[in-house]
Amino acid sequence: MMDLLLKLWKTLRLPKLWQLKILRMVEDQFLVGVTGVIFSKDNTILLLKHTYRKVAWGLPGGYIKAKEHPKEALEREIEEETGFIISADTRYKIRTDRDSARLDIVYIGALMGGEFKASHEVSEAGFFTLDTLPVIRKDQLILIEKIMRERNEGSREDMS
């Protein structure tokens, strides 16, 4: 059956736009997003209180627009939602969200400036130490703990 469909596909020679439309109708789709673990100068982590999430507090992030680099997407999303200017410095990992059809690119970055202003998506922002984190999703907590552990191990190695 698959061979027959492949032959038909090659014979039809549909324009690219039509091919894409057909593929989108029959293939699973997912979104590509970015998440940031953003540190302030005093090594605290930026968390946002989102207006639309079940667990309100969480890491900043959003979706990538067409023709946008993931680093630019994270920097844009955070500025739009909070007024903060950040630098997405290091791509840390790519992960999947098991609760939705989302592929997420995680960056570690730094706060560069700006002043917080609430938006329709974010009502509050805060900078937290590992000991003072509000309730956040477990997967985000594990991610933050791992990054903090690696940063601490890296600073010990720098001292020797």
Q: How many CB atoms lie within 10 A of CB 58?
A: 19
Residue 160 has pLDDT above 50, yes or no: no
Q: How many CB atoms lie within 10 A of CB 14?
A: 12
**Domain ranges, ordered by start, for the chain:** 26-159
User: Which of the residues are catalytic?
Assistant: 124
Mean pLDDT of the chain: 88
% residues pLDDT > 70 (the chain): 87
Q: Which pLDDT does position 20 carry in this prediction? A: 67
Q: Could you give the residue ranges of the DSSP H alpha helices within the chain? A: 2-12, 16-26, 70-82, 138-159
Residues 6+ apart with CB under 8 A from 115: 83, 84
Question: Tens digit of pLDDT for each residue in 61-91?
Answer: 999 998 999 999 999 999 999 999 999 999 9
Answer for the pair 112, 86: CB distance below 8 angstroms, yes or no: yes
Residue type, 84: F
Question: Tens digit of pLDDT for each residue in 93-129?
Answer: 999 877 777 899 999 999 999 999 999 999 999 999 9
Residue 134: pLDDT band by 50, 70, 90 thresholds?
very high
% residues pLDDT > 90 (the chain): 66
CATH topology of domain 26-159: Nucleoside Triphosphate Pyrophosphohydrolase (3.90.79)
Residue 131 has pLDDT above 80, yes or no: yes
Q: Which residues pair with 106 in a beta bridge?
A: 35, 93
pTM, full prediction = 0.80
Q: Which pLDDT does position 159 carry in this prediction? A: 42
